[in-house]
Structure formats: C-alpha cells, structure tokens
Amino acid sequence: MTSSNPKRYFLRGAQDALPFVLVIVPFALLFGVVATEAGLNVAEVMGFSVLVIAGAAQFTAVQLMTENAPTIIVILTALAVNLRMAMYSASLTPFLGKAPVWKRALVAYLMVDQAYALSQIKYELEPELTVPERFAYYIGTVVPLAPLWYAASYIGAVAGTQIPASFALDFALPITFLAMVAPALRTIAHVAAAATSVVLALLLTWMPYGSGLLVAAIGAMIVGAQIEGVMARRART
C-alpha cells in the first residue's frame, strides 16, 4: 500500500496554479482601482478583498453601489454571482467531506474559481488520493493566488491612479473566466446552462441595478438541472 504524501500534492497544487498568477494580479489591481474610484478607502477595499475574496461578486457589488442601488439589491446580486460557490462546494463534498471541520472551513473560505477548477479535475483524474492529499493539493493551489490577490488589491487601491490606462488591466476579468469555464463545459448540461446564462443576461440588460443577472443565474441552473435529469433517466433505461 502506497503511503500518503500530502507535501508532494501541496507542491503540485502550487505549481499547477502558477499560470493563474498572470490574470490574478491585474484582476486584483483593477478591483483596487475601481473600488477606490467608487469612493471606498483603502481599509474598505481590503475588507472587501480579504473577507469576500470573490472578484466577480466584488466588482458587481461596487458597480451597484456606485449606481446607488438599494442595499438588498447589492447583496442579492452579489450572492447570485457567487452562487456558483455553493455548487462548487457540493461537487467537492465527495472528495473532502471526511476532512476535519477546520479543514473544511478553510477550504470554504478559500473557495475560489481557480482552486476549484484545478482540484476538481485532479480529484477526478486521481480518485485514489487520500483525503489529506486532496486537502493539501487544494491548499497548494491557493498559496500562489490568495496572497497576491490581497497584495495587488492594496496596490491598486493605493497607487491605482498612477497605473497607465495603456496597461488595460480590464482584460483580466474576461480572460480569467474564459480560462476557467471553457475546460468545465464537458457535458450537454454544462453547455446548455452556460448558453442560457449568456442569452438571458444579454436579453435582460434593461432590468434595473443589474438584477437581470439574478434571473439569468436562476434560469441557467434550472436548464442545467433539467437536462441532467433527462440524461440520468435515459442512462437508467
């Protein structure tokens, strides 16, 4: 029987996550700049980045705040954008559900798109991994990302006005999500859910305070769940 080797998988996770540094840094810099321009001070920007640690939700919340949207709309829309984290957690439960509570809590706090995407693929490709190895790999994927997210958010907040517009930091947002979403579109249900969210989000841009995102997210989940249900029934027959 092969002995467990968490250290090896921790280092492998850190190595696998390194390419995401290329988009995490400009992504966080951009948030620091945008949040500061929206009127947040450095402490508020850092509170956002450290406590929320969810770029898309942070951008959404700041944008709605600049539009003077009602607080409940800001909260609900940010939650809708981040609703994917609940689905991430559910899909990782079979692999990490037996870990101690403190480890699961740490994974929950550090649940970011890049770490999830890398870990989910790793766990499926190597189902023989032990729970400590899986946990170590996940934490390893976060090590190059989280500290840089905090640091770059701070730099963006403090020195954002000094960053030339020619740097085009806003490229990081779409590139990040394309890099993460594309490999995950492995079934018809995944593709249908993604297509539904895009179509609905575009059709509902007229809704106030970006609330069309709420409808698009709910619609995408319904379509994906229905197609998965149909495929599961067909597989049983």
Q: Supply the pLDDT for residue 204.
A: 86
By the 8 A CB rule, do 152 and 169 touch?
no
Task: Give the mean pLDDT of 107-121.
Answer: 91
Q: Where are the domains of the chain?
A: 6-169, 185-237
- Long-range pairs for 2-7 at CB < 8 Å and ≥24 separation? 4/130, 4/132, 4/133, 5/133, 6/130, 6/132, 6/133, 6/135, 6/136, 7/136
Residue pair 110/132 in contact by the 8 Å Cβ criterion? no
Q: What is the pLDDT of residue 13?
A: 95
Measured between alpha carbons, how far is 161 from 44 in angstroms, rounded to an integer? 17
Q: How far apart are CA 71 and CA 34, in angstroms?
A: 19
Angle, vertex CA 109, rays to CA 118 and CA 127, nearest 5: 35
What mean pLDDT comes out for the span 218-228? 83
pLDDT of residue 214: 75
Residue 178 token pair: 């394309």
Q: CA-based Rg of the chain, rounded to a whole angstrom?
A: 19
pLDDT in tens, 42-52: 999 999 899 88
Q: How large is the average pLDDT for residues 129-138? A: 96
Q: What value does the mean pLDDT of the chain take?
A: 83
Q: What is the pLDDT of residues 149-161, one digit of tens each?
A: 999 999 988 886 5
CB neighbour list of residue 9: distance below 8 Å, 6 or more residues apart: 129, 133, 134, 136, 137, 140
pLDDT band at 2 (very low <50, low <70, confident <90, very high): low
CA gap 127, 95 in Å, rounded? 9
Over residues 25-33, the mean pLDDT reads: 84
Under 8 Å between Cβ of 34 and 58: no
Query: Residues 224, 190: contact at Cβ < 8 Å?
Result: yes
Neighbour tally for 187: CB within 10 Å: 13
Place of tokens 């609330």: 211
**For range 227-236, the mean pLDDT:** 80
**Which candidate, 228, 5, 25, 24, places its Cα nearest to that of 136?**
5
pLDDT digits (tens, 9 = 90+) for 53-82: 887 788 888 888 888 888 888 888 788 778
